[in-house]
Structure 1
Amino acid sequence: MNFKKLKVFTTVCDCGSMSGAAKKLYMTQPAVSQAILELEEELDVHLFDRINKKLLLTYPGEVLLEYARRILVLVEEAQSTMKDIANMNTGKLRIGASTTIGTYLLPEIIRTFGQKFKNIDIPFAIDNTGVIEKMLLENSIDIGLVEGPIHSKEIIVKPYMDDELFIICSKNHPWAARKRIGPGTISEQNIIIREQGSGTREVFENTMSKHNIPYSIKHVLNNTEAIKKAVEANIGVSVVSEIAIKEEIKSGRLVKINLEGVRFLRKFNIIYHKDKYHSKLFEEFLRHLCSGNF
């Protein structure tokens, strides 16, 4: 049983004759009759009675007609929806972002993209880089924006923008008056840092290890805003992305500290699975990201 035979069947029912259906479908009458015969043989039922030269539906025919109409409506709806998706009139793109990007960049990215494509559904998830990488591998999201290193060879990594982490302290901390410190002084401080799997933590630890600088982690928090509040309360010092502290630095609530001879540099990256199909919506979102118009 296929779509074409169901279409022929419903058209015969609507027209009340094989000849009428043939004319409407631009087919020959024998071709219409053959399609009905094949359908009857395939289903092992009799669909029409021929009484007084009229075609009348049998009970199996009535049941099939109900299903056939529902099937054809669904097919037409599917075709219409696929057309809308192809023309970017509707669609869905699942986005994942690591915490810093998700908190400070992603909302504006989604807002401006949504202005261009108003009927597109854009669900998004925010978590650390490790979780976002796992979600991509499990096909829970279509595309990701992360600040930490990616470890799977199944994922394509495209550099997006540069970022720099800075050590921060409270305005009441002794470092606040100096704004530049030597590497040796770090070991004396309580470090407040993100959890394992965080891109910020991985960059911090890798950089400190590269320069052989000892440090002591005192508190682990999985939220950048919580870290900033803790530092502001002078509980310890931390390292966070420059984009996360603009307001606090401007208002003087936090102080940005330079570590002599050391910079915490990293890339924000666009990531997606190497086998991911690039739909028009997917490509359009990539273009939006690279345009920087947000």
Structure 2
Amino acid sequence: MNLHQLRVFYEVASARSFTAAAAKLHLTQPAASWQVKRLEEVCGVRLLDRAGKRVSLTEEGKVLVDFAGRLLRLARETDEALADLRGLPMGTLRIDATYIVGDYYLPGLLEALHRQHPGLAFQIGIGNSSQVIENTLAQQNDIGICAHDPVHPKLEARRILTDLLVAVVGPTHPFARRRSMALRELAGQPLILREQGSSPRRTIDDILKRHGIAPRVVVESASTPIIKRFAANGVGIAILSQQVVAKELQDGLLRLLPFKDAEVEYHFYLIRHRDRWASRAVQAFVEMAQAFQQEARLPRSLRSRRPPTGLTPAST
């Protein structure tokens, strides 16, 4: 048994496909099949059931795949530790992030990090906060970025970004010419919001509840482009992250309506499993993320229209 055989087996088990695993590992399919067959011979048990192009784990395979994953993670962390001794951030940094961070924040950060450390490669997963936290707990990544502090004994978390939820309308909306609005004026207005359970939705629901406002939601969606399109077409008032509407505001497709009496903030957290090695690559990412925090805030031309004070909702 060797690490290469375990790696091939692990990738086949994860993909449930020899073809997909071989492509990922830059092997031919027969070579991948041969490696798994040799591993089965060494172990003396059948690890995979083959059914056409699909494969599934036997009971013995389910036991081994867990150990294989742990061994491969340890091998990678060993390589990273040795690279650290040479003083060079290098290797593959595995990052899971929420949709907003992945679409609007992470690309620029990673481009800058790669320019500074060209020996780094990145593997990026995108999902909701629950998925990010789950993957981090399972040690399937080096870093997770989610939209609330998970408060878990196995995780360490630090706030790296504060975002604003802002109200926007299309140019034809009755409120389009207004310079601001009170939060209470949302009562009775058709609202376009993120889906139930999302961190932005939990934040705005909490704020509305505190002000005794029952939201009249006419559209809710997990798709930010859909929400922006409905708002641009005058269907209602959308409440979204300032990051995702910055371009539409600059292009005149949407109009900003700052709240007179509230500044609706929510926070993103960088999370790590406490048992994972904090490599130089991870440290370099954290330093770059902190440097990028100010760059990710609202453009100056829009910040000047925000109210100077207001309330900050409880962390979600």
Do these two structures clear the TM 0.5 threshold for a shared fold by scoring above it? yes
Aligned: 1:98 with 2:98: yes
Partner Cα distance (1:227, 1:272) in 2: 32
Partner Cα distance (2:89, 2:96) in 1: 22
2:183 maps to what in 1? 183
Runs (5+) with no aligned partner, structure 1? 1-78
Q: RMSD of the alignment, in Å?
A: 2.6
2:174 maps to what in 1? 174
Alpha-carbon spacing, 1:107–1:180, altered in 2? closer, same or farther (3 Å): same
1:213 maps to what in 2? 213
2:29 maps to what in 1? none
Identity within the alignment, %: 21
Partner Cα distance (2:150, 2:250) in 1: 33
C-alpha displacement of 1:173: 0.5
2:157 maps to what in 1? 157
Higher deviation after alignment, 118-127 or 100-109: 118-127
C-alpha displacement of 1:225: 2.5
* Matched position secondary structure for 1:175: coil
Q: Is the contact between residue 85 and residue 91 of structure 1 (CA under 8 Å) also seen in structure 2?
A: no
Aligned: 1:232 with 2:232: yes
C-alpha displacement of 1:89: 6.4
C-alpha displacement of 1:147: 2.9
Superposed CA offset, 1:245-278 (max 9, x none): 2221122210111233222112232122233321
Listed as ranges, the matches of 1:109-188 within 5 Å are 109-188=109-188
For 2:96, give the aligned amino acid. G
2:68 maps to what in 1? none
Partner Cα distance (1:179, 1:154) in 2: 46
Alpha-carbon spacing, 1:244–1:284, altered in 2? closer, same or farther (3 Å): same
Alpha-carbon spacing, 1:81–1:241, altered in 2? closer, same or farther (3 Å): closer
Alpha-carbon spacing, 1:152–1:226, altered in 2? closer, same or farther (3 Å): farther
Q: Is the contact between residue 97 and residue 144 of structure 1 (CA under 8 Å) also seen in structure 2?
A: yes
Q: Is the contact between residue 148 and residue 202 of structure 1 (CA under 8 Å) also seen in structure 2?
A: no
> TM-score, normalization: structure 1?
0.66
Superposed CA offset, 1:171-225 (max 9, x none): 1111111232233432322222222342211211122222222212222211222
Alpha-carbon spacing, 1:86–1:191, altered in 2? closer, same or farther (3 Å): farther
Partner Cα distance (2:134, 2:91) in 1: 24
Alpha-carbon spacing, 1:287–1:190, altered in 2? closer, same or farther (3 Å): same
1:247 maps to what in 2? 247
Higher deviation after alignment, 276-285 or 176-185: 176-185
C-alpha displacement of 1:135: 1.7
Partner Cα distance (2:166, 2:138) in 1: 33
1:201 maps to what in 2? 201
Aligned length: 217
Partner Cα distance (2:80, 2:174) in 1: 62
2:57 maps to what in 1? none
Alpha-carbon spacing, 1:209–1:86, altered in 2? closer, same or farther (3 Å): farther
For 2:125, give the aligned amino acid. A
Q: Is the contact between residue 167 and residue 240 of structure 2 (CA under 8 Å) also seen in structure 1?
A: yes
Partner Cα distance (1:109, 1:182) in 2: 35
Q: Is the contact between residue 193 and residue 201 of structure 1 (CA under 8 Å) also seen in structure 2?
A: yes
Partner Cα distance (2:187, 2:200) in 1: 19
For the pair shown, the structure with the greater C-alpha radius of gyration is 1
C-alpha displacement of 1:81: 8.5
> TM-score, normalization: structure 2?
0.62
For 2:289, give the aligned amino acid. L
* Matched position secondary structure for 2:145: strand
Alpha-carbon spacing, 1:284–1:81, altered in 2? closer, same or farther (3 Å): closer
For 2:179, give the aligned amino acid. K
C-alpha displacement of 1:153: 4.1
Q: Is the contact between residue 96 and residue 132 of structure 1 (CA under 8 Å) also seen in structure 2?
A: yes
Partner Cα distance (1:100, 1:83) in 2: 34
Superposed CA offset, 1:109-151 (max 9, x none): 1111112222322111122222212221222222122333435
